[in-house]
């Protein structure tokens, strides 16, 4: 259905929403403003709540800096984003020239793939939403439609861009299907603290020697590793903390390192007992880490793509209770070092080598095993109790390198040992392997 826009309203809309390089021109007879198209897309969704508009300079910076779209390629833009661990996003652009469609849709597709990598593994439901998202162009417009019903969104976009009213999508879920799920049962109460060990600290393991390169490994069939470098993946120096743990002298520690060491002592007092095997210590500290911290969700906000300070090191995890993958991995590394369990941190990537990632290898009775504490702590997992919750939190506990490759991990395959051990793999259920 054609919609007639009064000239005054049209002029005001153009002044408010035009891109930085645009000029107000006479609109063609079939002109439709991007906000009208975006509204049609939002109206096609079962629940558009939480999608908030970006406007003015904030919108322009998002399109150029985050999406990689040249300012001269569009004249009007509507951007709606969800916040937190919610990957929904609607972008509608009026192109400066019709032949910019290919370049703009390529940039939007690259942005979609990058966002998918950000959520992949940690928030698999949101990554799946982005996998199904549509990048489309028509009639001088281009759009990214990452929403619950992408088919309905695309139909609404095409109809609105043509000046028509979209029919309800056949794929749109019924109201009954979109009702909020029932609240998950509360997590099982935490077990009683284990007896406090003696005051003597666990012996610190000897520094792990440089790994023997896997010179004979055939990597020709592996997904190539190309560091994305989205974040600073430098490892935090814990040498002073390890020395203070072993000597008992904390006088030379910085305030940050002293706080880290204090948190470590508290974790060991509650979760580690005398006589534990390396596997038992590894599992107890792994689970304590997941209970203590959670993923730094501020990295999903367009205004804070690097997240909070210290989210890549043990201070963020142990003191602040938050971290990204490197924060999980370096904290797990420190806990293993203090427990005397041989461990290394692997800095790699995920999602086809498009997103920075990090995890660990531990050596138990001479064999290497892989542990990914970040992906063992997915969003929403805190509400999953019982056996299902235990399985969820141990999907990547003492697995093999082959398993990591099969689940979209990439790294410098020849620079670290291959994790081939299977004896101490544990899926979160049943007795521990002996």
Blockwise average pLDDT, block size 10, the chain, 434 residues:
40 41 42 92 92 90 90 94 84 93 92 83 82 92 94 93 65 41 38 37 52 74 92 95 96 96 97 96 97 89 86 97 96 98 97 94 98 88 71 94 96 96 94 90
Q: Can you tell me the distance from the alpha carbon of 157 to that of 149, in angstroms, rounded to the nearest whole number?
A: 12
Tokens representing 340 are 């005397």
Name residues whose C-beta falls within 8 Å of residue 62's C-beta, 6 or more positions apart in sequence: 54, 79, 81, 302
Tokens representing 231 are 């974040």
Please compute, for residue 72, the number of CA atoms within 13 A of its CA located in the half-sphere on the CB side.
1
Q: What is the pLDDT of residue 66?
A: 85
Q: Can you tell me the distance from the alpha carbon of 162 to that of 29, in angstroms, rounded to the nearest whole number?
A: 11
Could you give the C-alpha distances from 135 to 62, 145, 153, 169, 250, in angstroms and in order? Answer: 17, 6, 11, 17, 56
Tokens representing 318 are 């142990």
Where in the chain are the domains? 7-172, 239-410
Nearest in space to 347 (alpha carbons), one of 253, 416, 274: 416
Q: Can you tell me the distance from the alpha carbon of 409 to that of 122, in angstroms, rounded to the nearest whole number?
A: 13
CATH entry, 239-410, from 1.10.1740, 3.10.620, 3.10.450, 3.30.420: 3.10.620
In 248-316, alpha helices (H): 255-271, 278-292, 314-315
Q: Is residue 368 a contact partner of residue 418, using CB atoms and an 8 Å limit?
A: yes
Q: What is the pLDDT of residue 116?
A: 85
Residue found under tokens 């619950």: 148
Spacing of C-alpha 223 from chain mean position: 20
Q: Is residue 424 a contact partner of residue 364, using CB atoms and an 8 Å limit?
A: yes
Spacing of C-alpha 105 from chain mean position: 24
Q: Can you tell me the distance from the alpha carbon of 68 to that of 125, in angstroms, rounded to the nearest whole number?
A: 25
Q: Can you tell me the distance from the alpha carbon of 322 to that of 352, in angstroms, rounded to the nearest whole number?
A: 26
Burial of residue 403, with CB atoms counted within 10 A of its CB: 0-12 exposed, 13-18 middle, 19 or more buried: middle
Q: What is the pLDDT of residue 90?
A: 95
Collapse the DSSP code of 34 into the 3-class scheme (helix H, G, I; strand E, B; otherwise coil) and give the result: helix
Name residues whose C-beta falls within 8 Å of residue 348's C-beta, 6 or more positions apart in sequence: 225, 357, 358, 359, 409, 410, 411, 412
Could you give the C-alpha distances from 260 to 37, 122, 294, in angstroms and in order? Answer: 51, 25, 17
Q: What is the pLDDT of residue 380?
A: 62
DSSP state of 303: T
Name residues whose C-beta falls within 8 Å of residue 127's C-beta, 6 or more positions apart in sequence: 87, 116, 119, 120, 121, 351
Nearest in space to 291 (alpha carbons), one of 396, 381, 357, 372: 381
Collapse the DSSP code of 163 into the 3-class scheme (helix H, G, I; strand E, B; otherwise coil) and give the result: coil
In 195-324, alpha helices (H): 239-247, 255-271, 278-292, 314-315
φ/ψ of 404, rounded to 5, equals -65, -45
Collapse the DSSP code of 185 into the 3-class scheme (helix H, G, I; strand E, B; otherwise coil) and give the result: coil
Q: Can you tell me the distance from the alpha carbon of 337 to that of 237, in angstroms, rounded to the nearest whole number?
A: 12
Q: Can you tell me the distance from the alpha carbon of 316 to that of 307, in angstroms, rounded to the nearest whole number?
A: 11
């Amino acid at each position: 259905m054609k919609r007639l826009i009064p000239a005054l309203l049209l002029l005001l809309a153009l002044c408010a929403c035009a891109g930085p390089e645009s000029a107000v021109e006479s609109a063609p007879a079939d002109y439709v403003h991007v906000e009208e198209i975006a509204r049609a897309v939002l109206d096609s969704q079962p629940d558009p709540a939480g999608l908030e508009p970006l406007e003015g300079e904030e919108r322009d910076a998002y399109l150029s800096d985050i999406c990689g779209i040249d300012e001269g390629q569009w004249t009007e833009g509507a951007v709606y984003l969800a916040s937190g661990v919610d990957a929904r996003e609607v972008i509608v652009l009026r192109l400066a020239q019709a032949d910019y469609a290919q370049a703009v849709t390529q940039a939007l597709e690259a942005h979609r793939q990058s966002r998918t990598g950000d959520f992949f593994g940690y928030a698999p439901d949101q990554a799946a939403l982005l996998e199904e998202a549509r990048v489309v162009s028509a009639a001088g417009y281009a759009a990214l439609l990452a929403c619950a019903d992408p088919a309905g969104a695309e139909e609404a976009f095409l109809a609105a861009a043509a000046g028509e009213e979209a029919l309800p999508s056949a794929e749109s879920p019924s109201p009954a299907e979109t009702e909020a799920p029932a609240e998950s049962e509360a997590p099982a109460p935490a077990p009683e603290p284990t007896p406090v060990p003696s005051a003597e600290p666990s012996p610190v393991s000897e520094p792990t020697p440089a790994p023997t390169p896997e010179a004979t490994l055939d990597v020709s069939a592996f997904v190539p590793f190309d560091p994305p470098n989205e974040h600073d993946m430098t490892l935090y120096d814990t040498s002073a903390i390890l020395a203070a743990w072993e000597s008992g002298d904390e006088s030379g520690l910085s305030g940050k390192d002293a706080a880290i060491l204090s948190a470590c002592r508290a974790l060991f007092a509650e979760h580690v007992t005398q006589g534990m095997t390396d596997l038992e210590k590894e599992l107890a500290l792994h689970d304590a880490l997941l209970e203590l911290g959670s993923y730094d969700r501020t990295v999903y906000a367009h205004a804070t793509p690097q997240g909070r300070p210290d989210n890549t090191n043990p201070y963020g995890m142990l003191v602040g209770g938050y971290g990204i993958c490197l924060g999980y991995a370096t904290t797990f590394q420190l806990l293993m070092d203090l427990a005397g369990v041989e461990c290394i941190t692997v800095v790699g990537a995920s999602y086809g080598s498009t997103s920075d990632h990090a995890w660990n290898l531990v050596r138990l009775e001479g064999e290497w095993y892989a542990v990914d504490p970040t992906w063992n702590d997915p969003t929403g997992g805190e509400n999953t109790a019982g056996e299902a919750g235990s399985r969820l939190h141990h999907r990547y506990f003492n697995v093999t390198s082959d398993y990591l490759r099969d689940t979209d991990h990439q790294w410098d395959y020849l620079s670290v040992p291959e994790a081939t051990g299977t004896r101490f793999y544990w899926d979160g259920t049943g007795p521990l392997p002996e």
